[in-house]
Amino acid sequence: MLNRMFALLCALILLLCALPAALAEDDDDATAPILTDDELEELRSMDEGSDEDMVTAVVGEVFEEPDKKEFNRKSPAIYTARVLENSNLYPERSTDSKRIRSFGAGARADVLYVGSTYAIIRYKDDIGYVLRSRITDVEAVDPVNTAPYGVQKAAYIATTADVCEVRKSMSDSDDSWVVLNPGTKLSIWQIRDGWAIVHYWRTYGYINMNDLTDLIPVSPTDEPISEETPIAAYTSFYKMVQTKSNKGRIINISVACDRLTRVMQPGEELNFNKQVGPYKKSIGYHEAPVLVDGETQPGYGGGTCQVSSTLYNALLQLPGVEILQRRPHGPSGASYLPHGVDAAVGSDSLNLRFRNNYDFPIRVEGHTSDDGALLMLVYKAQ
């Protein structure tokens, strides 16, 4: 009897794996492949959200986010947010630390700092850390002078001068998250002690400035400093494991960048699915993992959500761009970005649509060298 039940369970798993992916739009391109358990686990680790920092031992210094001890009951709040029921407030950036308190329904707290994975919040007399995935309905205290929640304005863009390693700390002796090709463009969040700091998934990466060239500032306002100065820039990173499914994802990111790049006139709208799709083999897309309702499955165009999500992070920096439609990848979001700033695409209900409300045209560019870095740039066009 147990053997029969086990066989039925295995058959059910294989059947579910063989279902067509949600992003495939016709039957002519082929059905989704059956993935092994190892491949499925790899895809989940690549695309599903994770609330914890990427754990790693480091050799050199790393960027230290502010400590809750730097804030008190009189510290000005940046945002207010609703804390989800059954969430916990921690004394440290770790869910293993003894919680300060748990939240009931309807709790609303002051947000004092937003980090890569945790936010520092104040609730009544308690100040501590809460996972970003546990706060919602975030509102700026001063919406006129405060950037939208999740904005991470880049300070510069640069180009890799040679083979370039994105290190896990500010040390050439440390391991690297990813190795970039010569000539790869990327944005830099900030520079410290001769190192460029970038956002890598839900933590940070570090690049020796000696490995970079063509350093160009990103304009802090909507008015460019020069013709070569972008008004917004954002880089996300993707994994470079050489499995068939991930190779397809890398190709799809490149195809989507090529199809996205364009100039938008004042008042013009962009529909990501129409501009970058259809997600078909005939367009050049390959089979790769897609994230649907928090579940990973194979489908044509897998990886294009990272393009739309990276673009969304650049658009958030521009008050003259209006987001008309955007939805996240389920409650956990996409782990290649901080929680709350991803944008799923692939259907009528999953799409990124936005409008250029500036009185000047803007040029949207997507760049990747098929090496792990995905850069989105927005320029004031002539």
365 pLDDT above the threshold of 80? yes
Determine the number of helices (DSSP H) and then strands (DSSP E) in the chain: 5, 24
pLDDT for res 42: 43
Q: Are residues 82 and 215 in the same domain?
A: no
pLDDT for res 11: 43
Residue 178 is assigned to a structural domain of this protein: yes
End of a domain among 140, 168, 194? 140
Query: If residue 348 lies in a helix (H) or strand (E), which one and from where to where?
Result: none
pLDDT in tens, 332-354: 899 999 999 999 999 899 999 99
CA distances from 43 to 4, 109, 290, 347, 376 (A): 29, 35, 9, 21, 24
Total structural domains within the chain: 2
Q: Are residues 183 and 111 in the same domain?
A: no
The label of the residue with tokens 């040390």 reads 171
Q: Are residues 86 and 178 in the same domain?
A: no
* CA dihedral (34, 37, 39, 41) positive or negative: positive
Residue 65 is assigned to a structural domain of this protein: no
pLDDT for res 331: 87
pLDDT in tens, 250-305: 999 999 999 999 999 999 999 999 999 999 999 999 998 876 666 777 788 899 99
How far is Cα 309 from Cα 325, in angstroms, rounded to an integer?
A: 12
End of a domain among 87, 113, 140? 140
Higher-scoring residue by pLDDT: 365, 7: 365
pLDDT for res 298: 79
The label of the residue with tokens 């009189």 reads 74
Identity of residue 329: H
311 pLDDT above the threshold of 90? yes
pLDDT in tens, 181-234: 999 999 999 999 999 999 999 999 999 999 999 999 999 999 999 989 999 999
Q: Are residues 132 and 165 in the same domain?
A: no
Residue 298 is assigned to a structural domain of this protein: yes
pLDDT for res 50: 44
How far is Cα 90 from Cα 96, in angstroms, rounded to an integer?
A: 9
**Conformation bin of residue 272: beta by default, left when phi > 0, alpha when psi is -120 to 50:** alpha
Residue 363 is assigned to a structural domain of this protein: yes
pLDDT for res 24: 34
pLDDT for res 328: 92
**Conformation bin of residue 143: beta by default, left when phi > 0, alpha when psi is -120 to 50:** alpha
Q: Are residues 114 and 81 in the same domain?
A: yes
How far is Cα 170 from Cα 194, in angstroms, rounded to an integer?
A: 9
Q: Are residues 167 and 132 in the same domain?
A: no
pLDDT in tens, 153-190: 999 999 999 999 999 999 999 999 999 999 999 999 99
355 pLDDT above the threshold of 60? yes
23 pLDDT above the threshold of 60? no
**Edge-to-edge strands, sheet with 373-380:** 232-237, 373-380, 362-368, 262-264
How far is Cα 355 from Cα 376, in angstroms, rounded to an integer?
A: 17
How far is Cα 13 from Cα 144, in angstroms, rounded to an integer?
A: 51
pLDDT for res 351: 97
To the nearest whole number, what is the mean pLDDT of the chain? 87
Range of the domain at 206: 156-380
Over range 30-43, report the average pLDDT.
Answer: 37
- Phi, psi at 361, each rounded to 5°: -70, 155
pLDDT in tens, 54-73: 556 789 999 999 999 999 99
Residue 22 is assigned to a structural domain of this protein: no
| Cβ–Cβ under 8 Å, residues 358 and 263 | no
The label of the residue with tokens 């990501």 reads 272
Residue 17 is assigned to a structural domain of this protein: no
Q: Are residues 87 and 188 in the same domain?
A: no
Confidence bin at 33 (pLDDT 50/70/90): very low
End of a domain among 112, 140, 168? 140
| Cβ–Cβ under 8 Å, residues 45 and 52 | no
Residue 367 is assigned to a structural domain of this protein: yes
- Percent of the chain whose predicted confidence (pLDDT) is above 70: 84
* CA dihedral (306, 256, 178, 17) positive or negative: positive
Higher-scoring residue by pLDDT: 33, 45: 45
Q: Are residues 105 and 181 in the same domain?
A: no
For residue 57, the Cα-to-chain-centroid distance in whole angstroms is 23
* CA dihedral (187, 189, 190, 196) positive or negative: negative
Q: Are residues 239 and 292 in the same domain?
A: yes
| Cβ–Cβ under 8 Å, residues 8 and 15 | no
Identity of residue 328: P
For residue 206, the Cα-to-chain-centroid distance in whole angstroms is 17
CATH of the domain at 131: 2.30.30.40
Q: Are residues 170 and 128 in the same domain?
A: no
100 pLDDT above the threshold of 90? yes
Q: Are residues 130 and 174 in the same domain?
A: no
| Tokens at 155, concatenated | 């300070």
Q: Are residues 122 and 261 in the same domain?
A: no
Residue 4 is assigned to a structural domain of this protein: no
